[in-house]
Amino acid sequence: MSEQFGFETRMIHAGSRPEAVSGARQTPIFQNTSYVFQDVDHAADLFNLQDFGFIYSRLTNPTVSVLEERMASLEGGRGATCCASGHAAQLLIMQALMHPGSRVVVSTKLYGGSITQFGKTFKKFGWHGDFVDTNDLDAVDAAMTEDTKAIFVESLANPGGVVSDLEGLAKIANAHGVPLIVDNTLATPYLCRPFEWGADIVVHSTTKYMSGNGTSLGGCVVDSGTFNWAQNNRFPSLAAPEEAYHGLIFHETFGDMAMTAYLHAVGLRDLGASMAPQNAFQTILGSETLSLRMDRHCENALKIATYLEGHPAITSVSYAGLKSSSFYDLGQKYLPKGQGAVFTAQLKGGFEAGVKLVESVNLFSHLANVGDARSLVLHPASTTHRQLTPEQRSSAGAGDDIVRLSIGLETVEDLVRDLDQALST
Ligand SMILES: *Cc1c(COP(=O)(O)O)cnc(C)c1O
């Protein structure tokens, strides 16, 4: 759906048409593995990628396709590929770009699971993550090598209210002939527009705000369609002949849809991390109210962050919406509608105070998720970030005295009261 329509219109309509046979208005759940071919020639055209259509739900599924079109439209990209989880999205895009010996410059300020994925598990494929403080643009430039295939950052970084300088990072990536990949999970396309600042690829964990109810794992890779994969010889998956498709060159055959075609025809085909149609359906429902929810998430988060900053048990609060944040200016530039609803607070009482807080709250849920309608709290040092070294923890903004909050959609006074009793017991 074209961008001449407003964001809210696209949230509800992009990708979705009345179902052809019944006229059903909401997207049905196509709980199908496979689709009947019209005849042998039709089947051959589908398998040779000469015709678009449904073959088998590991590659494409009608319900998942609606969500893909919607995600592409909301981000202002050319095409999207949905998959089983946010981590699957990161695996899919890296598989398209990397080969044994390839490198990727990665922010030190990432979701804990992403640090482990890039730092440990990807190493088994011979892919090297060079971790850099990506708010230091000179350090990013210095880390680029001949083998570097991408820069990977989060727009709004989990967990510490860090905002990436997307415009500056895109310039460096461009100058080195590689794409800037932005994880836009915590910002969502409503709050942050990575492609407008020069990013080439956006990835999502749709598990979070896109679905919004804590029901459905999902991930998505959105391609801007503007990166030239043939500008150098670093991206043979896109720009060299693909043997499995009779020597087809994705970049030549599909143009600005090359990455999206590759991620379905090779990525999902061979890695198999497809999105379940039921999860696509739940995420489609969530996407319809995205802007309304994000406005309220941001409003509640700013109130809670302000309350906590004034509390005697708290040393500091890292929320880009607070004037005290070193990311305040970047937050106003890149997230002008609101700076999200996930942030950290530093407790005067250290590790023990963190444990006590998560065990004393009643309304907040103590669990490892963010971007739910419910308010959530977590002590990363004793949970999500416990596999990291103390140095990795503090450079990821998750030291022993840090708690992470994900502010939900409840009545904000009730949330304040819950934190008040938990901090004073
Ligand atoms: C949750 C999350 C991921 C991983 O997504 P899953 O859907 O849990 O695999 C990646 N990046 C960010 C910023 C996240 O919050």
Q: What is the pLDDT of residues 129-146, one digit of tens each?
A: 999 999 999 999 999 999
Q: Find out whether the beta carbon of 219 lies less than 6 Å from any atom of ligand 1.
A: yes
Residue 204 backbone phi and psi in degrees, to 5: -135, 145
Q: Which of 83, 87, 155, 210 to mutate to test the pocket of ligand 1 (most atoms within 8 A of CB)?
A: 87
Which atom of ligand 1 is found nearest the CA of 371? 15
CA of 89 to the centre of ligand 1 (A): 9
Instruction: Check if 234 has its Cβ closer than 6 Å to any atom of ligand 1.
Output: no
377 token code pair? 């709290």
pLDDT in tens, 304-355: 999 999 999 999 999 999 999 999 999 999 999 999 999 999 999 998 999 9
φ and ψ of 172, to 5 deg: -65, -45
- C-alpha to C-alpha distance for 77 and 69, rounded to whole angstroms: 9
pLDDT band of residue 124 (cuts 50, 70, 90) is very high
The first and second tokens of residue 87, run together, are 């981590």
For residue 275, give the nearest of 406, 424, 80 by alpha carbon. Answer: 80
In testing the pocket of ligand 1, which one of 205, 220, 282, 367 has its CB within 8 Å of the most ligand atoms? 205
Q: Would the pLDDT of 392 be above 90?
A: no
Q: Whose CA is nearest to atom 2 of ligand 1?
A: 205
Q: Quick one: which H or E segment has residue 80? A: strand 79-83
385 C-alpha vs ligand 1 centroid, how far in Å? 14
3-state secondary structure of 128: strand
Residue whose CA is at the smallest distance from ligand 1 atom 8: 86
Q: Tell me the CA distances in angstroms from 289 to 12, 165, 394, one per residue in order.
A: 8, 28, 35
pLDDT-based confidence at residue 395 (cuts at 50, 70, 90)? confident
Task: Kindly list the domain boundaries of the chain, sorted by start residue.
Answer: 7-286, 290-424
- Assess whether pLDDT exceeds 80 at residue 264: yes
| Distance separating alpha carbons of residues 346 and 47, to the nearest angstrom | 55
Q: Whose CA is closest to atom 12 on ligand 1?
A: 111
205: Cβ below 6 Å to ligand 1? yes
pLDDT at 383: 85
Q: Is the pLDDT of residue 51 over 90?
A: no
pLDDT tier at 244, thresholds 50, 70, 90: confident
Q: Helix (H, G, I), strand (E, B), or coil: what is residue 131?
A: strand
CA of 86 to the centre of ligand 1 (A): 5
Q: How many angstroms separate the alpha carbon of residue 113 from the centre of ligand 1?
A: 7
As a whole number of angstroms, the distance between CA 129 and CA 29 comes to 38
Q: Compute the average pLDDT of residues 239-256.
A: 93
Does 396 score more than 80 pLDDT?
Answer: no
Sign of the dihedral through C-alpha 197, 280, 33, 69: negative
Using a 6 Å cutoff on CB, does residue 110 contact ligand 1? Answer: no
Find out whether the beta carbon of 186 lies less than 6 Å from any atom of ligand 1: yes
- Distance in Å, CA 205 to ligand 1 centroid: 5
Q: pLDDT higher for 42 or 99?
A: 99
Our answer on whether the CB atom of 69 is closer than 6 Å to any ligand 1 atom is no
Per-residue confidence (pLDDT) for residue 390, from 0 to 100: 79
Strand 201-205 to 219-223 pairing: antiparallel
Pairwise pLDDT comparison (346 vs 395), residue with the higher score: 346
Closest to 213 (Cα-Cα) out of 268, 316, 290, 144: 290
Best CA proximity match to 269, nearest among 70, 34, 92: 92
Question: Which of the two residues, 58 and 380, has the higher pLDDT score?
Answer: 58
E strand or H helix at 209? none
Cα–Cα dist 57/33, whole Å: 5
Residue 46 has pLDDT above 90, yes or no: no
Query: Which atom of ligand 1 is nearest the CA belonging to 186?
Result: 13
87 CA → ligand 1 middle, Å? 6
C-alpha–C-alpha distance, residues 192 and 291, integer Å: 12
Top-level CATH class of 290-424?
A: alpha beta
Q: Tell which CATH classification among 3.40.1410.10, 3.40.50.720, 3.10.450.100, 3.40.640.10 matches the domain 7-286.
A: 3.40.640.10
Which pLDDT does position 138 carry in this prediction? 98
How many whole angstroms separate alpha carbon 148 and alpha carbon 127?
A: 10
Other Cβ atoms within 10 Å of 189 Cβ, number = 29
Ligand 1 close to Cβ of residue 209 (< 6 A): no
Please say whether the beta carbons of 131 and 106 come within 8 A: yes
